[in-house]
Amino acid sequence: MDIKKIKEVMDLFSESDLTAIEIAEKDTKIRLERDVQGATVLAPMPQAMPVQPVVETTNAAAANDAPSNKGKEVLSPLVGTFYSAASPTDPPFAKVGQKVAEGEVLCIIEAMKVMNEIQAPFAGTISKVCVENGDVIAFDQPIFEFEA
């Protein structure tokens, strides 16, 4: 392959969007590569934000229906996937009948590939876990009920 043909291949390669090309002709072999790492644009990684669950207290006197033994609820502060434990083999962070302290981790909600620990906004005893492990939950959906 003569130098003129090599220059022509180089010019065509530089004008194209190819990242690499290899040409073999008789006893000559040419390989051209473009450095694509410098052109890579990386999006910023999402950062876990401190998440405060929404607390809702039900007032039995204000309700017109039958009295309920429901106390305080912990509502989901975001949309995501509910996980009761850090891994499938670990025990759940919180279960029915368990007494938890304020700030204790109740569960994890995964949102946009970020694991958000949901902490107890108050101390108390869990009377109900309202969702199942792996459930997709909505914003303001009840996730735990505490005894009144």
CB 130 within 8 A of CB 116: no
Q: What confidence tens digit (pLDDT) does each residue in 72-115 have?
A: 999 999 999 999 999 989 999 999 999 999 999 999 999 998 99
Angle (nearest 5°) at CA 26 between 23 and 28: 55
Q: Which CATH architecture has domain 54-147?
A: Beta Barrel (2.40)
Q: Assess whether pLDDT exceeds 60 at residue 12.
A: yes
What are the sequence ranges of the domains in the chain? 3-39, 54-147
pLDDT at 44: 59
Q: Assess whether pLDDT exceeds 60 at residue 63.
A: no
Q: For residue 5, count other CB atoms closer than 10 A to its CB.
A: 13
Q: Which long-range contacts (CB under 8 A, 24 or more apart) does 119-123 make?
A: 119/51, 119/52, 119/53, 120/74, 120/94, 121/52, 121/53, 121/55, 121/74, 122/55, 122/72, 122/146, 123/99
